[in-house]
């Protein structure tokens, strides 16, 4: 062969080698993908056949329906709770472990340095310490149930069938204990009880704003407490830059619930509906179950890691909750001894504080020495360091949840109650978080009661931190249980709560300084009363429709004023098309409409117009009831009484128009210049993020359910609160509707799905159901349409 021929063949040979190499890489890549797939799938829980669970006394049947809801049938209470622990661990073990670690302040041990701040906060807030104190005071029967549940969880852990999350983080879960379950319960009190922020913000405002500016931003200015005001003015505690606002509970944690008398229903029996509004994520905060033994037959939801059913129904009654939102956390201005920073002044003497050494282990890092300092009032929550310079004053926090409480005994009472008297007796044990319970029974009773430890203060009403160095301040008990707000069989024929004010002017006790705006409550009442005739009565389908309602009563109040401003200020007709769009809007936050996009972003931008540059970012995040405060500033201004904040921003018309122009500029930059193409759903997208998804965009694509356009907003009955970037990560974490005429079943929705395993068919099968208001039926009479039966064998 000639040299010329060799030269001609050489390029082709190189190309062949490249093709061959690429082919090998593709094959190897495919094998890796297939291998990962099979590895992840290998930890799917067994849901059919038999499995030996040696801790059981007798066999237990676990039947999963078509949506993955486990129906557990056991012959004894011991085996029922053991099986509940085992099954929860099958579906949610990683979530359970992460939850106990977060609440206990031990996340950094498995996550690394990114969790150090979280661990410090939760060690300081002392949730696990409070759980341990509660355990010591529980009765033997409840302790036994918590131990049975832990036995079941550990039986599954010991099988060693761990999900990919444990492998990614490189650790194995420790043994489950009853304290872990109690700590998760205390975390829910934390998530629903962040009223200390109000006092911290108010303290900062009084230190850094003029009196007039502060008065307008304080939800309630303590006119009748000069000594408290003086203490806040003269003892400055550092607030700005001291608190990680990313770790604070969501501002909009709330819920809807209502119950309808049989007089207004098609079946002649009560209807009950509940949809708690909490953070949305993967997996869901709730886990749906049906528990059956000779002593009980109950269905509903529970937090993963906890025994019993906290919300739901049995064969005789149904119940649901919303958050009361009372002032149950008080800050005290503590004066430390300059010579000994573990001593604090009290009634003219230096008093030793408790100091807990709580070293924080850090994955791939050094253990951090950390101390929790606890005064007579509670833990010091300021950024308190034992350095050379002792601060002049710090905050400690008194909180009802840090006392021994017995919510799990209450839950077990709910599950077996058959009437209002028995249910109310169980309610007396539910101390933290304080909740609005609605109730219905097959005997036709409907009822409501607010429950929980709500403090009676010696001085003030929780508006500002109080002096910690005097016995003249503090708590002198709680509102007596029998004097908490309560209603039984009202003449109206219905009871509704939506975090709105639940007391009248004559109520003798202080409960809260602020409540949720009344818009959701008013809309629910309007819809109930709209179907109130002799021929047309309410059905369970009506209840479902109400839960998905997107009417914006917020817009009904403010949009007419805003339109007047826009027409006045838009002298050149630049925004005529958009103004017309808003005029024609029927004020439903539907995902396919443009007007909700303009209105909702406008109202957010009003706050930026008023506060940007005047409030530090973290102080703004601490600001309680910022929407209620801002709304009142707007009401006053439109009524002809503009305050200092609106006036300094140029007056009400200028505030609105400046905010409007910012809004339209932002919308055009993201969605184009044609208003006819804008939609609320292009911004407002339902998001169920997995806790590990933030570590990697690639991983997020694999483990996060797909985002979906969704209607609703933070103030509609179908609550859809977004994070300011359009990610709807807060709303109805569970939807529940039940007709007391037939308690053999209920209608439920737990999105994104029952399972925490990414390869499960029930991982995100209810995600679209959330958007479209679809429910599944959960039966408790054994009549299941599609089933997967697993027998837990005792030997």
Nearest Cα residue to 323 out of 719, 655, 600: 719
pLDDT at 704: 97
Q: Is the pLDDT of residue 34 over 80?
A: no
| Range 35-68 burial, b when 16+ CB lie within 10 A, else e | eeeeebeebbbebeeebebebbeebbebbbbebb
Q: Is the pLDDT of residue 640 over 50?
A: yes
For residue 656, what are its two tokens?
A: 């609105």
Cβ 384 vs Cβ 391: under 8 Å: yes
pLDDT at 658: 97
Question: How many Cα atoms are found within 13 Å in the side-chain-facing hemisphere of 580?
Answer: 7
Query: DSSP E strands: which ranges in 328-465?
Result: 329-334, 336-337, 340-346, 349-352, 354-357, 371-374, 394-399, 435-441, 446-451, 455-457
Where do we find the tokens 């409501």? 448
pLDDT in tens, 66-104: 999 999 999 999 999 999 999 999 999 999 999 999 999
Query: What separation in angstroms does the CA of 210 have from each of 466, 482, 551, 629?
Result: 20, 43, 39, 17
pLDDT at 385: 47
Question: Residue 10: which H helix or E strand, with range?
Answer: helix 3-41
Cβ 247 vs Cβ 118: under 8 Å: yes
pLDDT at 219: 81
For residue 409, what are its two tokens?
A: 């005994």
Q: Is the pLDDT of residue 721 over 70?
A: yes
Q: Is the pLDDT of residue 25 over 80?
A: no
pLDDT in tens, 217-263: 998 777 767 789 888 999 999 998 888 888 888 777 789 999 999 99
Reported as a pLDDT band with limits 50, 70 and 90, residue 567 is: very high
Query: What separation in angstroms does the CA of 118 have from each of 79, 125, 667, 736?
Result: 36, 11, 35, 33
The DSSP letter of residue 795 is: -
pLDDT in tens, 412-442: 999 999 999 999 999 999 999 999 999 999 9
Question: Residue 276: which H helix or E strand, with range?
Answer: strand 271-279
The DSSP letter of residue 326 is: -
Q: How far apart are CA 792 and CA 570, in angstroms?
A: 71
Question: 3-state SS string over 220-266?
Answer: CCCCCCHHHHHHHHHCCCCCCCCCCHHHCCCCCCEEEEEEECHHHEC
Q: Other CB atoms closer than 10 Å to residue 535's CB: what's the count?
A: 4
Q: Is the pLDDT of residue 630 over 50?
A: yes
Nearest Cα residue to 744 out of 307, 258, 318, 276: 318
CATH architecture of 196-249+328-402: Roll (2.30)
pTM above 0.85, yes or no: yes
Cβ 162 vs Cβ 43: under 8 Å: yes
Q: Is the pLDDT of residue 383 over 90?
A: no
pLDDT at 23: 53
Cβ neighbours of residue 544 closer than 8 Å, sequence gap 6 or more? 273, 735, 737, 747, 773, 775
pLDDT at 524: 98
Q: Is the pLDDT of residue 5 over 50?
A: no
Cβ 789 vs Cβ 63: under 8 Å: yes
Reported as a pLDDT band with limits 50, 70 and 90, residue 351 is: very high
For residue 256, what are its two tokens?
A: 């809807």
pLDDT in tens, 531-565: 866 678 999 999 999 999 999 999 999 999 999 99
pLDDT at 505: 87
To the question of whether residue 330 is assigned a binding role by annotation, the answer is yes
pLDDT in tens, 316-350: 999 999 999 999 999 999 999 999 989 999 999 99
Q: How many residues does the chain have?
A: 795
Q: How far apart are CA 388 and CA 346, in angstroms?
A: 23
Catalytic pick from 43, 73, 255, 293? 255
pLDDT at 6: 44
Q: Is the pLDDT of residue 3 over 50?
A: no
Phi, psi of 494 (to 5 degrees): -155, 160
Edge-to-edge, what's the strand order for the sheet holding 466-467? Answer: 394-399, 329-334, 466-467
DSSP per residue over 736-762, as a string? EEEETT-TTEEEEE-SS-S---TTSTT
Cβ 429 vs Cβ 404: under 8 Å: no
pLDDT at 533: 64
Q: Which residue has the higher pLDDT, 175 or 23?
A: 175
Q: How far apart are CA 791 and CA 795, in angstroms?
A: 11
pLDDT in tens, 164-174: 999 999 999 99
Q: How far apart are CA 515 and CA 327, in angstroms?
A: 11
Whether 709 is a known active-site residue: answer no
To the question of whether residue 352 is assigned a binding role by annotation, the answer is no
User: Is it true that the peptide bond before 283 is cis, omega within 30 degrees of 0?
Assistant: yes
pLDDT in tens, 659-682: 999 999 999 999 999 999 999 999
User: Is it true that the peptide bond before 656 is cis, omega within 30 degrees of 0?
Assistant: no
CATH for 254-283+312-327+407-456+478-545, among 3.40.50.10440, 3.90.1150.10, 3.60.20.10, 3.30.1360.180?
3.60.20.10
* Mean pLDDT of the region 569-582: 96
Phi, psi of 592 (to 5 degrees): -95, 5
pLDDT in tens, 733-765: 999 999 999 999 999 999 999 999 999 999 999
Q: Other CB atoms closer than 10 Å to residue 383's CB: what's the count?
A: 16
pLDDT at 247: 82
pLDDT at 382: 86
Cβ neighbours of residue 488 closer than 8 Å, sequence gap 6 or more? 420, 445, 446, 447, 448
Q: Is the pLDDT of residue 627 over 50?
A: yes
Cβ neighbours of residue 310 closer than 8 Å, sequence gap 6 or more? 300, 301, 302, 303, 411, 414
Q: How far apart are CA 707 and CA 717, in angstroms?
A: 21
| Range 143-167 burial, b when 16+ CB lie within 10 A, else e | eebbbbbbbbbbbbbebeebbbbbe
Nearest Cα residue to 631 out of 543, 681, 559: 559
pLDDT at 17: 60
Cβ 423 vs Cβ 368: under 8 Å: no
Q: How far apart are CA 242 and CA 357, in angstroms?
A: 21
pLDDT in tens, 468-509: 999 999 999 999 999 999 999 999 999 999 999 999 889 999
Q: How far apart are CA 439 and CA 321, in angstroms?
A: 9
Q: How far apart are CA 501 and CA 511, in angstroms?
A: 9
pLDDT in tens, 394-417: 999 999 999 999 999 999 999 999
For residue 87, what are its two tokens?
A: 């099954």
Q: Which residue has the higher pLDDT, 233 or 292?
A: 292
Over the chain, what is the mean pLDDT? 93
| Range 248-262 burial, b when 16+ CB lie within 10 A, else e | bebbbbbbbbbbbbb
| Domain positions in the chain | 196-249+328-402, 254-283+312-327+407-456+478-545, 553-587+594-678
Cβ 675 vs Cβ 581: under 8 Å: yes
């Amino acid at each position: 062969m000639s040299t010329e021929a060799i030269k001609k063949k050489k390029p082709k040979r190189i190309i062949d080698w490249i093709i061959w190499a690429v082919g090998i890489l593709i094959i190897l890549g495919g094998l890796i993908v297939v291998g990962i797939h099979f590895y992840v799938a290998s930890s799917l829980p067994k849901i059919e056949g038999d499995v030996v669970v040696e801790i059981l006394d007798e066999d237990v049947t676990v039947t999963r329906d078509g949506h993955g809801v486990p129906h557990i049938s056991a012959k004894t209470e011991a085996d029922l709770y053991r099986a509940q622990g085992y099954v929860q661990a099958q579906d949610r073990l990683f979530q359970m472990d992460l939850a106990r670690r977060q609440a206990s302040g031990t996340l950094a041990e498995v996550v690394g340095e990114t969790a150090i701040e979280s661990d410090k906060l939760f060690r300081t807030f002392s949730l696990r310490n409070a759980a341990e104190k509660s355990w010591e005071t529980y009765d033997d029967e409840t302790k036994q149930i918590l131990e049975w549940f832990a036995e079941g969880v550990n039986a599954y852990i010991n099988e060693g069938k761990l999900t990919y999350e444990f492998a990614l983080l490189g650790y194995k879960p420790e043994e489950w204990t009853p304290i872990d379950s109690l700590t998760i319960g205390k975390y829910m009190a934390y998530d629903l009880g962040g009223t200390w922020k109000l006092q911290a913000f108010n303290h900062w405002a009084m230190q850094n704003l003029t009196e007039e500016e502060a008065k307008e931003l304080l939800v309630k200015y303590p006119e009748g407490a000069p000594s408290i005001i003086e203490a806040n003015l003269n003892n400055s505690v550092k607030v700005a830059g001291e608190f990680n606002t990313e770790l604070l509970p969501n501002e909009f944690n709330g819920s809807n619930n209502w119950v309808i008398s049989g007089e207004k229903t098609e079946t002649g029996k009560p209807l009950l509906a509940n949809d708690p509004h909490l953070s949305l994520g993967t997996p869901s905060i709730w886990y749906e179950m049906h528990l059956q033994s000779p002593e009980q037959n109950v269905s509903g939801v529970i937090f993963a890691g906890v025994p019993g059913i906290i919300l739901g129904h049995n064969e005789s009654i149904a119940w649901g909750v919303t958050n009361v939102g009372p002032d149950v956390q008080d800050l005290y201005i503590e004066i430390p001894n300059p010579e000994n920073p573990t001593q604090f002044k009290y009634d003219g003497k230096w008093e030793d504080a408790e100091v807990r050494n709580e070293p924080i282990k850090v994955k791939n890092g050094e253990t951090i020495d950390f101390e929790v300092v606890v005064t007579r009032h509670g833990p010091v929550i300021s950024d308190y360091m034992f350095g050379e310079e002792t601060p002049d004053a710090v905050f400690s926090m008194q909180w009802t949840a840090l006392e021994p409480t017995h919510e799990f005994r209450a839950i077990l009472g709910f599950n077996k109650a058959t009437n209002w008297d028995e249910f109310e007796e169980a309610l007396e044990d539910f101390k933290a978080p304080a909740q609005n319970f609605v109730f219905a029974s097959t005997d036709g009773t409907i009822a409501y009661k607010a429950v929980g430890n709500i403090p009676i203060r010696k001085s003030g009403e929780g508006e500002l931190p109080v002096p910690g160095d005097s016995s003249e301040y503090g708590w002198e008990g709680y509102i007596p249980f029998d004097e908490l707000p309560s209603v039984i069989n009202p003449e109206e024929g219905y009871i509704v709560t939506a975090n709105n004010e639940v007391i009248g002017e004559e109520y003798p006790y202080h409960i809260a300084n602020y409540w949720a705006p009344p818009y959701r409550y008013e809309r629910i009442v309007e819809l109930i009363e709209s179907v109130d005739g002799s021929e047309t009565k309410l059905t369970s389908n009506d209840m479902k429709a109400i839960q998905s309602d997107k009417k914006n009563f917020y817009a009904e109040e403010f949009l007419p004023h805003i339109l007047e401003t826009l027409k006045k200020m838009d002298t050149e007709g630049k925004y005529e098309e958009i103004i017309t769009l808003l005029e024609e809007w029927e004020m439903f936050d539907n995902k396919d409409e443009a007007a909700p996009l303009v209105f909702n972003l406008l109202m957010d931008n009003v706050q930026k117009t008023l506060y940007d540059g005047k409030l530090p970012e973290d102080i703004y995040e601490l600001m309680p009831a910022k929407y209620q405060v801002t709304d009142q500033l707007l009401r006053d201004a439109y009524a002809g009484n503009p305050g200092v904040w609106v006036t300094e921003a140029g007056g009400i018309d200028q505030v609105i128009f400046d905010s409007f122009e910012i809004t339209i500029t932002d919308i055009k930059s993201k969605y184009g210049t044609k208003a006819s193409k804008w939609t609320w759903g292009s911004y407002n997208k339902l998001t169920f993020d997995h806790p590990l998804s933030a570590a990697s965009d690639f991983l997020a694509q694999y483990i996060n359910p797909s985002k979906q356009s969704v209607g609703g907003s933070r103030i509609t009955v179908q609550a859809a609160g977004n994070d300011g970037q359009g990610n709807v990560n807060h709303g109805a974490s569970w939807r529940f509707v039940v007709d007391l005429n037939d308690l053999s079943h209920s209608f439920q929705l737990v999105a994104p799905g029952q399972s925490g395993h990414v390869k499960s068919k029930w991982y995100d099968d209810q995600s679209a159901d959330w958007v479209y208001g679809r429910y599944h039926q959960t039966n408790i009479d054994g009549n299941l349409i599609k089933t997967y039966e697993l027998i837990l064998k005792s030997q």
